[in-house]
Structure 1
């Protein structure tokens, strides 16, 4: 069972990887795993680096390190997919979106 802290860490790491990869692509620069890990470290979201939240963060960073060694695109980061799975879909009523169209 994943904790709230682990899910939050997983989501932040995945978002950071996607953002970094997009930034590098826009700048036509190669993806650098060491720089990606620095960006991940800078994205730590829980304040003090101690206790349970930090332990969960470190577990997810370890998974990210393994993923970065594969040289696969960030969109394939499996932890990202599982952290996004809890998002619920929003039902849209017919004509609802036309209220804002000019």
Structure 2
């Protein structure tokens, strides 16, 4: 006779709870929209104002940075001119002494 195989107890299948019915994209979009066109226009205006303020702030910071860089470049240019003029004077003195 064949050897008997050991049988395992069968697990009970857990019942899954029924999920919510999927909301269609159109329903979600309809829920996001304000009830009237005036409310929608008001929301758009508020958002546009926020964006304009942000862009103004960013532009102002970049303008300040550019102005700072121009000042630094101007000061550096003046320093280079001073050093070159001193160098020219020293060179001209040495050439006069050599003659």
Same fold (TM over 0.5): no
Is the radius of gyration larger for structure 1 or structure 2? 2
Higher RCO (CA-CA < 8 Å; seq separation 6+): 1
**What's the TM-score, normalizing by structure 2?**
0.27
Greater helix fraction, Structure 1 or Structure 2:
2
**What's the TM-score, normalizing by structure 1?**
0.26
